[in-house]
Structure 1
Amino acid sequence: MNKRIVPTRYSRLYETTLYRNGTKIASGDDPLFGRRSFTVPSGEASYKLTTSVTRSAKVAATSTRVDAAWTFKSKEVEGAMLPASTVHFGATTGLDSRVTAGKKVTVQGSAAGKGLKSLTVYVSYNNGRTWAKPAVKNGKIAYQDPKKGQSLSCCAKITDKKGNTSAIPICNAIYGK
């Protein structure tokens, strides 16, 4: 994948790509901030939207890489709310991005509430080399606190009842205190 260096205060490297029925139709250097939109033809189609943001640990120690991918079907073009879901890991951090782990995971988007078919969460204590799968119960997970100064990476996989999917891995999401 070709990526462009885009110097900003917050990110160093990012790209967003949209596929329609398996064919790449658009790509850009907007990490879903809303500065750029994609024009798509009318008619029902299957879509995959991917985005990747990488930033230097010199900018911020947490969330050094976030990749996300959504698959969904859509036939609306103008002003339609896309059936894309995400999660909020519910960690309340201080200004130092440190947290005591064990907080709830909240699904946001079309899969929230009664629209959720499945939610799987993975955690990693070694920068994503290996992953553990904590049980999800009532939208909550329990995981061991990362050791002081070490990071915890998180990944959520969501499927809604209409078959739309989301996958959101976050490297170095939080640090132990």
Structure 2
Amino acid sequence: MALRNILTQGEEQLLKRSRKVEKFDARLHMLLDDMRETLEHSGGVGLAAPQVGVLRRVVVLLDVNKEPEEMVELVNPEVIEQRGAERRVEGCLSVPGVYGYVTRPTWAKIRAQDRNGNWFEREGEGMVAQCFCHETEHLDGHLFTEKVEEYVDVDDVQDGAGDGE
């Protein structure tokens, strides 16, 4: 496993649409392993492949609603259902030090494949639902800053409130 560099706002690759994963091979497994290690090292809660310069539909995220927290791998993910709305402070590893209010669903269901190509569905509430939406938007070349309703000062962000990613 290896730490990958996280691209930051201004990098062209962050604005491109990622391609569907077709091969579930050792190369994909290495990408997933590297992304897991990179996310753990970063202190964030989600990471999409374009953020490490790979234009593939791959995401890793922490399910913070599980005890202990669980690392989730999503290949070719799609948000298939969502309910509710909540305005939460969000941040992004690719936009360091920037936080803002974004309205996201309070509950979401995602459909994805695992590292071996098996399809599954997973539900999430609160920050996990927020993360499902945030990360899948990265796969389509979007940053959370496009949805920010109001920016907040980094000093005003309290204990994890800005860990939208």
Structure whose residues are more often helix by fraction: 2
More contact order relative to length (CA 8 Å, sep ≥ 6): 2
Structure whose residues are more often strand by fraction: 1
TM-score past 0.5 threshold: no
